[in-house]
């Protein structure tokens, strides 16, 4: 089946469909040794090139993996020195599968990470308009109050950007430490840590426990992953659609 070139590129993980369309308009995509115009469709057997490399699309069947990420692991495909990366923990017996991470977690954050073989689906999950919320378990040190809680829910401007939680549930206290369950709709870099720091609290443990309708299974060991079934994948699509797409 022939499909539009921008969709083919997006599914291969190059970027969003709009970004891929801009690449085509900029005459940066080559199909069968010719510059591809807008409106180009590609079929199996066509050779698509971007930036001098052949772009292969293996995303005929949508797959999604859930990893219980350990602390001390980089959410990157590029290795720095001898630091482990999340892709070290994914299945290695499927040579044709190119996994794309759906968002990131910083090196000291553990818990739920999703990966897919479909760049279009990855972009859908990460796009702000999807409004797919994330839930985290947080241990923070410092004094918490209703005033601080209200600030975190209303929003705080940090480095010129607006940050906020959509929900905060207070948990057990242990000395100067307290547990929290927090939710937010965006995936800005170190957002949870920055929010707590803005109210003079220091995060000492951070774990993602939910992405939209998908929860981290309590039985999934750290450093292991599982493949989501069709019902789970459909629930993510429906969740995003209901939230605003």
Active-site positions read 106
CA distances from 241 to 52, 188, 232 (A): 36, 21, 14
Backbone angles phi, psi at 104, to 5 degrees: -140, 165
* Residue 245: CB atoms within 10 Å: 13
CA distances from 48 to 2, 13, 17, 35, 90 (A): 13, 13, 16, 10, 27
C-beta of residue 87 within 8 angstroms of C-beta of residue 77: yes
C-beta of residue 126 within 8 angstroms of C-beta of residue 185: no
Distance of CA 136 to the CA centre of its chain: 14
């Amino acid at each position: 089946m022939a499909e539009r070139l921008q969709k083919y590129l997006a599914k291969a993980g190059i970027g969003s469909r709009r970004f891929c369309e801009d690449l085509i308009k900029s005459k940066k995509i080559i199909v069968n040794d010719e510059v591809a115009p807008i409106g180009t469709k590609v079929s199996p057997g066509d050779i698509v090139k971007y930036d001098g490399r052949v772009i292969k699309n293996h995303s005929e069947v949508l797959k999604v993996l859930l990893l219980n990420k350990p602390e001390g692991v980089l959410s990157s495909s590029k290795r720095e020195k001898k630091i482990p990366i999340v892709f070290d923990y994914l299945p290695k017996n499927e040579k044709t599968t190119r996994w794309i991470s759906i968002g990131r977690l910083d090196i000291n954050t553990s818990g739920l990470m999703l990966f897919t073989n479909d760049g279009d689906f990855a972009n859908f999950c990460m796009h702000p308009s999807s409004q797919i919320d994330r839930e985290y378990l947080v241990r923070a040190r410092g004094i918490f109050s209703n005033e601080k809680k209200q600030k975190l829910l209303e929003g705080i401007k940090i480095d010129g950007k607006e940050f906020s939680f959509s929900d905060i549930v207070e948990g057990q206290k242990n000395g100067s430490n307290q547990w929290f369950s927090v939710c937010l709709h965006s995936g800005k870099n170190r957002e949870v840590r920055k929010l707590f720091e803005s109210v003079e609290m220091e995060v000492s443990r951070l774990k993602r426990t939910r992405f939209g309708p998908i929860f981290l299974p309590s039985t999934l060991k750290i450093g292991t992953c599982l493949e989501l079934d069709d019902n789970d994948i459909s629930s993510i699509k429906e969740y995003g659609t209901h939230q605003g797409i």
